[in-house]
């Protein structure tokens, strides 16, 4: 736990946040956050998740060690996963090391799949269509992106996607900040 408390303080200082700034972003009290950073208070996983969200880092960054690097991802070690509320299949393509800022993913969209929620968050998104086509709606404007085309936009504008085809589509996606 000592390492987690230290990482919280280090991240807060690196981001230029005061304890009050972090308190406002997490709805956790300044005194509680101060106790956490000093290691004099225990920390629930829900509170750690709020802190990770405020720093725009995955919660796993608090459990990583600096010496556990893995730069290569062999195809046989890739494991697709899904996100609750989405029928898209995601496969991580990233190496493992602390401080990374890119989130590369292979995304497989089922035929006629529509993303049900509009997203808007800090960062950037880049997509390259490997197979099929994807209809992106970004800030109310539609972009039909075909096999071999790419699209790149700031994530803070409202956006969603859909696979308008009767066949599977696959896209290479690179996001910032790291979300998984």
For the segment 92-151, what is each residue's pLDDT rounded down to a tens digit?
898 887 778 899 999 999 999 998 788 888 889 999 999 999 999 999 999 999 999 999
Token code pair at residue 51:
């802190």
Whether pLDDT at 158 is above 80: yes
Instruction: Give dist(CA 171, CA 37) in Å, integer.
Output: 41
Compute the residue count for the chain: 180
Whether pLDDT at 68 is above 70: no
Token code pair at residue 146:
């075909």
Query: Looking at residues 50-61, what average pLDDT do you find?
Result: 88
Q: Any residues with CB less than 8 A from the CB of 129 and at least 6 apart, and which?
A: 145, 146, 147, 148, 149, 150, 169, 170, 171
Q: How confident is the model at residue 65 (pLDDT cuts 50, 70, 90)?
A: low
CA dihedral 138, 120, 12, 23 (to 10 degrees): 160
- Of residues 42 and 162, more confidence is placed in 162
């Amino acid at each position: 736990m000592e390492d987690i408390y230290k990482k919280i303080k280090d991240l807060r200082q690196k981001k230029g946040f005061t304890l009050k700034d972090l308190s406002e972003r997490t709805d956790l009290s300044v005194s509680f956050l101060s106790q956490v950073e000093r290691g004099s208070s225990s920390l629930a996983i829900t509170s750690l998740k709020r802190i990770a969200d405020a720093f725009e880092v995955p919660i796993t960054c608090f459990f990583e060690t600096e010496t556990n690097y893995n730069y290569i991802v062999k195809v046989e070690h890739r494991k697709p996963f899904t996100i609750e509320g989405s029928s898209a299949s995601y496969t991580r393509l990233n190496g493992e090391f602390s401080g990374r800022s890119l989130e590369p993913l292979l995304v497989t969209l089922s035929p006629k799949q529509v993303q049900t929620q509009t997203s808007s968050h800090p960062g950037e998104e880049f997509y390259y269509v490997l197979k099929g086509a994807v209809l992106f709606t970004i800030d109310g404007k539609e972009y039909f992106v075909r096999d071999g085309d790419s699209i790149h936009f700031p994530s803070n504008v409202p956006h969603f996607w859909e696979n308008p085809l009767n066949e599977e589509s696959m896209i290479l996606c690179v996001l910032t900040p790291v979300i998984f």
